[in-house]
Amino acid sequence: MTGNADFDLWYLFALGGAVLIGAVLPVLPTGAAVSAGAVLASHSNPIGLVGVLIAGAGGAYVGDLIVYAGCRFGGEKLAKRVGWLRDNAKLDALRDRLSEHEIGVLLTSRLVPGGRVPVLLAAGLAGYRWERFALVDLAASSLWAAVYMAIGLLGYVLFPEPWQGIVAAIVLVVLTTVVSSLIQKARHKHAAAAVSEAE
């Protein structure tokens, strides 16, 4: 961000669009994009942090609504065709967890690497109420954008140059994702071992 209103607005629209695309087709590192935006805004136009938060949360929210609508109205056939649905056993377990702790599961699903799409699938295929989903996911998307913006701010605080802060933010995002995935795998192994012992 340069302080030039036209560029700032263009950047925010590009950020929101990239996050939206990444939410529907998880091929873009959307968290890293929000973190990088936070670094750039902090260096040149701190008020732009509000725009980064709104663009990140808005793109994530609209993307989630699209995925949810696709699951709700397109069903398992569309989910399989797009590549969202892979493991039916995990999906059944998620449906159970969603029915028991719906708000907690929806709020945290965006923060767990690989957790968002399965929860959206479970909610959409189970016919979770549209209005309730839209309300809870607004909070989840805002929380997600705030967390990744905080990672970008950490990169800004640690390094004087914008490019260094952006690299640091991306490394922090990757490390967070890897550590979280390892913890998840360890928990699944532990749970599987506990089930096999019980049998």
Side chain identity, residue 4: N
Place of tokens 């309730």: 132
The CA-based angle 9-13-19, given to 5 degrees, is: 145
Measured in whole angstroms, how far is the alpha carbon of residue 166 from the centre of its chain? 19
**Largest pairwise CA distance in the chain:** 65
pLDDT digit string, tens, across residues 121-140:
777 777 778 888 888 899 99
Domain boundaries defined on the chain: 5-198
Which segment of 37-41, 58-62, 76-80, 111-115 scores lowest on mean pLDDT? 76-80
Query: Is pTM, for the whole model, over 0.75?
Result: no
Nearest to 176 by CA among 29, 12, 14: 29
The whole-angstrom separation of Cα 23 and Cα 171 is: 21
The whole-angstrom separation of Cα 69 and Cα 63 is: 10
The whole-angstrom separation of Cα 75 and Cα 69 is: 9
Phi-psi region of 129 (alpha: psi -120 to 50; beta: other; left: phi over 0): beta
Which runs of consecutive H residues, i.e. helices, occur in the chain?
A: 5-24, 30-44, 48-82, 88-100, 102-109, 116-125, 130-158, 162-198
Is the confidence at residue 194, as pLDDT, over 50?
yes
Q: What is the mean pLDDT of the chain?
A: 75
Q: Is residue 44 within 8 Å of 1, Cβ to Cβ?
A: yes
Query: What would the two tokens of residue 98 be?
Result: 């969603």
Is the confidence at residue 1, as pLDDT, over 50?
no
The whole-angstrom separation of Cα 129 and Cα 120 is: 12
pLDDT digit string, tens, across residues 135-176:
889 999 999 999 889 888 887 777 767 667 667 766 776 676
Average pLDDT on 171-198 reads 60
